[in-house]
Amino acid sequence: MLIAEVGIKIVIMDQTLINLRVKIIPDEIFSPFEGFVYIINNLDNREIIIKISNPFYHDGIKYEYILASPRHEGKAFDILLEHKEVLSSFLNIPSDKMETINPFDVNWWRGGGAFVGDVVLVEE
């Protein structure tokens, strides 16, 4: 467990999901692909960034990192540990945005590189 002080608020982040191998199963856009949990945004595991194992291009966009967030209220990514899938929204995060202080800040986004699908645990 990692404890970080952010301003006057203390945030406790569960690191259990870090490096967890996952498969992304998009609804329609392209074939399933694998990656691993790279960064967790907050305590309730509501947003994660996945680093794609084999980056690829689609419609001129390089997919290397994607931000995933559950589509249903009350769902969190820790249920992956119970071998359950998480229906999610995904947004491609360009490599240069990963170098910013907060890669979860997507105020720059104006469209493209987004899709819906499932995240599932890759069985070892």
Query: Which parts of 1-124 fold into alpha helices (H)?
Result: 95-98
Q: What is the pLDDT of residues 46-72, one digit of tens each?
A: 889 999 999 999 989 999 999 999 998
Q: What is the pLDDT of residues 91-121, one digit of tens each?
A: 999 999 998 888 888 888 988 899 999 999 9
C-alpha span between 122 and 124 (Å, rounded): 6
For the chain, domain boundaries: 16-121
- Per the CB < 8 A criterion, the answer to whether 39 and 30 are in contact is no
Encoding tokens for residue 15? 């690191």
> How far is C-alpha 30 from the chain's CA centre?
17
Classified as helix, coil or strand, 92 is strand
